[in-house]
Structure 1
Amino acid sequence: MGTPAKFAVTAAVLVAVGAAGWFGGRPAVERVVHDYILEHPEILPQAMEELRRREAAKALAGVRQTVETPFPGATLGNPNGAVTLVEFSDYACGYCRQSLPDVAKLIAQNPDLRIVVRELPIIGPQSPDASKMALAAAEQGKYAQFHDAMYQAGQVDGPTIEAVARKIGLDMDRARRIAASPTVEAEIGRNMELAQRLGFTGTPSFVVGDKLIPGAVGFDGLAEAVKAARGR
């Protein structure tokens, strides 16, 4: 049904609802709305999308700036990009690893895209150690190198974290000091609180524009969300 026809139907429904409300009260109004939905089920996906958008906006209210402000250096893509995508990730997460090519493709096709990575170490017993070393790498300007190399390593344990850190050329004494610092500890705690506030219970989870995206949705899903954020 085209837009003019939809408008006409909607107008007719509003008139019917008004009449029903005047003559029959709430039961009559509910019956008119019920019948309209049955006759036009195509409005349900639109309604659900609008509901999700409103719930996301409500969850982001008051914390968007915090969510989109990275730990210094913990970004991928264009650090000064006009569009921001936030990813909550864990190095022990297989789905995060599977998403790497999608994120890389997204960066390649969107030169104005900044990806803020929020370390959310919730899966493995040594996930926190990997996340802390990642932030130590960010402090030395080598976050992207550690991020990619750690996922490519395929496992998360003490020797692997150490090997990856040495491989990318970190100053290890400095890295260990930063990884154990209150600043890094506070960042991890903040990420946990933000994830809870946004309703994220797993990784990867994404925030872009007014969308909250739990789970690995693939390149097309992320690209569509980035496009929508650019136009908001």
Structure 2
Amino acid sequence: MNVIAKNSRLPLLFLALAASVLALIGVYFLWQWVPNTESSRSEPNAQNASASADTAVAAAGMSNEERKATEALVRAYILENPEIITQAVEILQQRETAKRLTSVKDEIIKPFAGAETGNPKGDVTIIEFTDYSCGFCRASVADVKRLLRDDPRIRLIYRELPILSQGSREAAAWALAAARQGKHQAFHDAMFAAGIPNTQSIRVAATTAGLNLAEAESFAASQQVKDEIESNLAIMQQVGFNGTPTFVIGDQILEGALGYDTLKAAIEKARSRN
């Protein structure tokens, strides 16, 4: 009976040792990527992973020889399947990003008044961080429009994230002014169609969208607009994404011009979790 009980614990032990090895690898890679001020946090995590393995070995009553054999199996598997290292680190990063996203979720789910489209009562909300100087954002416009056309249950919130140029910031301010006049989507489309944002192209887009130019210019310079833009920039830093476009769909963060199919799959994934 003791032999049977001991053997029955071996799979659990193997998993514990494997998890510890992967944790140590993940700690190593993260230590390489994070700032030096964060590196001190990696050492305790590595120690915890090693301690967990020691505890598992003791609980299973393994000899040193058995432990070494198990560790050799884990090592051999990792060397034969090195892609699991990248996969493990990616999953760890996704989990950490999801935690940071949770801390700001209530803030980003509440749009700047008028800066949204689609179904206000939709069962899935897409939050798009965008910059009018961003070519990848421009490339995503058609895909987002198609999603809204094909799926009437989507709510889309735009968050202005001008990170590329002063023209980006001016266009973002005018986009918020357009939202105040109930014409955000019209300005959004016209601004991307107008090309690189500058004083002239912004005016063209505003005219195309039918804005009251005097009111829009005044509001674009307001403290309310400045606060909204700074808030979005702070969210980017806090959550830890790198640029535009960035889509938040449920607990997923997707960066770049990913195409219709990828965005649609993310929507369905979020919907399945509702």
Category of TM-score, reference length = shorter chain: 0.7 to 0.9
Report 1:1-232 matches (<5 A).
Answer: 13-14=11-12, 16=14, 21=57, 22-24=62-64, 30-37=71-78, 47=88, 50-232=91-273
Residue identity opposite 2:184 in structure 1: Y
Stretch of structure 1 that moved more, 71-80 or 50-59: 50-59
Q: What is the deviation of 1:191?
A: 0.5
The TM-score, its normalising length taken from structure 2, stands at 0.73
For residues 107 and 201 of structure 2, the distance between their equivalents in structure 1, rounded to whole angstroms, comes to 31
| Higher mean C-alpha deviation, range 154-163 or range 14-23 | 14-23
Runs of 4+ in 1 over 6 A off after TM superposition: 39-46
Cα shift at 1:178 = 1.4
- Matched with 2:47 is none
**Residues 194 and 204 of structure 2 are in contact (CA less than 8 Å); yes or no, is this contact kept in structure 1?**
no
Deviates more, 1:41-50 or 1:121-130: 41-50
CA drift of 1:218 comes to: 1.2
Give the superposed CA RMSD.
2.6
Q: CA offsets, 1:53-74, max 9 Å, x none?
A: 4123212121111122211111
Kept after mapping to 2: 8 A contact 1:130/1:156: yes
- In the TM superposition, what is the alpha-carbon distance from 1:29 to its structure 2 partner? 5.0
Larger Rg: 2
TM-score, normalised on structure 1?
0.85
Partners of 1:173 and 1:45 in 2: how far apart? 53
Conserved in 2, the CA contact under 8 Å of 1:91 and 1:150?
yes
In 2, Cα distance between equivalents of 1:173 and 1:105: 33
User: In structure 1, the residue corresponding to 2:128 is in which secondary structure?
Assistant: strand
For structure 2, the residue ranges without an aligned partner over 5 or more in a row are 1-8, 18-55
1:91 match: secondary structure: coil
Aligned pairs, how many?
Answer: 222
CA distance in 1 between counterparts of 2:87 and 2:150 reads: 28
The answer to which structure has the higher helix fraction is 2
What is the identity percentage for the equivalent residue pairs of Structure 1 and Structure 2? 45
